[in-house]
Amino acid sequence: MTNKTIVNTQVDLTKVKPYGDTMNDGMVQMAFTLPVPYGEEASEAAKQLMKKMGFEEPAVVYSKDMGGGFTFFTMYGKCQHTVDFTAIKVTKVDVDVMDRVECQQYIEDNIKREVVIVGACTGTDAHTVGIDAIMNMKGFHGHFGLERYKGIRAVNMGSQVPNEVLIAKAIEEKADAILVSQIVTQKDVHIANMTNLVELMEAEGIRDKVILVCGGPRISHELAQELGFDAGFGAHSYAEDVASYVLTELVKRNKAAQK
């Protein structure tokens, strides 16, 4: 099933700007903290900063003394810039998303065996929320994880898993796909870790034999492919998004191998 895209035909998509109370008013709400003491001077600094950002009629709607010479602001302002929405091209995973039941039926009709998916949050990253949202039976926000999918054996290795250990587990389980979650991304540590994983898989001779997928708040499909992964899923991705891609990609590869 695919989500319908609703386009407002009353909008000039070549000149899109923020919407607040009325169309094209450009109203924006923004929050930030300045390293200055609370007071009228701080508010004036915040408004001047908004003007330098290109906002007209900047207004402080809320400010709070954070202590230690810091002040927090909630600001309003009018954006005068527009963007040509029709010219935007985004590299993204192109797949018709199936729900859990449809994925199960797809496996039964097209793969006819158990699909093995091994997942982990790798490197020094100690967060399990991302990989659990995709893998665990309870999933996240009403979207059940892969453990609940009939026909999929989901092996969740948790967090802080060394790349070498993940690869060894994938080989042991004869995995069809490896899922990598990266939450901690300070100083681009996720890029170094993901690059290392690809290099180790190539050294083991299994890179072309396994579907390699990554996900996380700062992950995009474009970045994933640049680093040698097959697909990348960013924020607001769920188990059905990942499952739909892995299953259809698996069938596609199997058909190509039979030719």
Catalytic center residues:
138
Whole-angstrom Cα distance, residue 100 to residue 10?
Answer: 36
Whole-angstrom Cα distance, residue 243 to residue 97?
Answer: 8
Q: Residue 67: phi, psi to the nearest 5? A: 80, 160
Reference 245, options 101, 131, 95, 114; nearest CA is: 95
Whole-angstrom Cα distance, residue 244 to residue 171?
Answer: 23
Instruction: Please check whether residue 76 is in contact with residue 29, taking contact to mean a CB–CB distance below 8 angstroms.
Output: yes
CA 55 to chain centre: 29
Instruction: Please check whether residue 19 is in contact with residue 53, taking contact to mean a CB–CB distance below 8 angstroms.
Output: no
Whole-angstrom Cα distance, residue 173 to residue 160?
Answer: 19
Reference 160, options 136, 128, 133, 188; nearest CA is: 128
